[in-house]
Copies of this chain bind each other. A is one copy, B any other.
C-alpha cells in the first residue's frame, strides 16, 4: 500500500473587477467577480514543496486585471475564454484552466452619462474551460427569484407513515433560479453572439416558469429547460437548481378570519431542492464543460 496524490487543482477565487469605459459621453460600467482554477502535474508541489510548476494565484489575479485593461471586458464568455486560453497556452505546466465570471448588473441613471445604479439580486454567469486546444462554454444566471401566485398544484404523491402534507390544487410556487447551459459550439451560432443568446435563454426561463401550469416543481423545471432547447439551437444542455421557497398559508381561523391563500409566511428553511438536467439526445459530449 502507498499513499498517493489524487485529483487536485488550484486558483484564485473572487477577484473583484470593475471596468469603466469612458470613451464618449455615456460611460459604460462592468462589474465582475472572477475566479480562476488551474490543473496540471502538481506532484512536486504537493510532495516536496517544489513550486516550479506553480503559477501563483497572485499572478492569476494580476492577469485578470491586465487583460481587462488590454482587451476590455466585452461579453463575459469571451473575456473568460481569452483568459482560459492564455493560461493553458503560456505555461507548459498548466493542463487545463477554468475561468468563472459572475457579472453584477448596473443601470445607467439618466442625465449625466457617468452615474449608475446597481440592479441587485440576479447575476449573469459564465464558466469557460480550456485544455490548450478546445474551449467549453457554460453560460448561466443565478439569483433570479420568481413566484407564481396561481397555476400551481401538488398532489398524487407517495403517502407513508410520515406524511402530513395536505394535497393542494392551488399553492404559491416560488424559487430562486440557478441555471447553467452548455453551448453546442464555440462561438455560438446565434445572431447577436453570447449576449443575445443569454438574453433569450433568460427570457424563455422566465416565460416558461410563468406560463407552465405546474403539478410539481419538477414539471416546471423540465418546462424551463425544454423551452430553452426548443427555441435556442445553439444550446445543447440546461442544468437547473430550483429551491422550493415555501410560502405557507397562515392559519387565521383562531381569530375568526378567513385566509383564502392571501396571507402567507415566507419560510427561509428548510426548503425543497429540485435539481435536474434537460438536454438534446444528440448533444455533443460535454468534455470538460462542467
Closest to A257 in B: B69
Question: Given that A12-B270, A18-B247, A119-B120 are contacting pairs, would A48 and B219 also be in contact in the complex, using a CB cutoff of 8 Å?
Answer: yes
Question: Which of the residues B48, B51, B149, B271 comes within 8 Å of A27, measured between beta carbons?
Answer: B149
Query: Shortest distance in angstroms between A188's beta carbon and chain B's nearest beta carbon?
Result: 17
Contacts of A268 in B (CB 8 A): 16, 268-269
Contacts of A113 in B (CB 8 A): 150
Q: Is A250 an interface residue (CB 8 A)?
A: yes
Question: Given that A16-B265, A69-B262, A158-B59 are contacting pairs, would A49 and B216 also be in contact in the complex, using a CB cutoff of 8 Å?
Answer: yes
Stretch at the interface among A74-82, A130-138, A161-169, A191-199: A161-169
Contacts of A62 in B (CB 8 A): 162-164, 255
Interface size class, chain A: 35 or more
* Copies per assembly: 4
Question: Given that A48-B219, A218-B8 are contacting pairs, would A146 and B265 also be in contact in the complex, using a CB cutoff of 8 Å?
Answer: no
Contact with B along A41-85 (1 / 0, CB 8 A): 010011111111111111101110110111000000000000000
Closest to A229 in B: B3
A10–B272 touching, CB < 8 Å: yes
Q: Is A285 an interface residue (CB 8 A)?
A: no
The listed residue with most B CB atoms (<10 A of its CB), out of A6, A21, A277, is A6
Q: Is A181 an interface residue (CB 8 A)?
A: no
In residues 99-127 of chain A, which contact B (Cβ within 8 Å)? 106, 109, 111-122
Contacts of A214 in B (CB 8 A): 49
Contacts of A210 in B (CB 8 A): 109, 111-112, 114-115
> Can you report 12 A-B residue pairs in the complex whose CB atoms are below 8 A from each other?
A1-B281, A4-B281, A7-B276, A16-B270, A29-B149, A45-B218, A46-B276, A50-B215, A51-B156, A51-B215, A69-B250, A91-B160
A4–B278 touching, CB < 8 Å: yes
Question: Given that A17-B263, A111-B211 are contacting pairs, would A160 and B279 also be in contact in the complex, using a CB cutoff of 8 Å?
Answer: no
Query: Shortest distance in angstroms between A220's beta carbon and chain B's nearest beta carbon?
Result: 9
Bound together, the chains give a CA A163 to CA B144 distance in angstroms of 37
B121–A118 touching, CB < 8 Å: yes
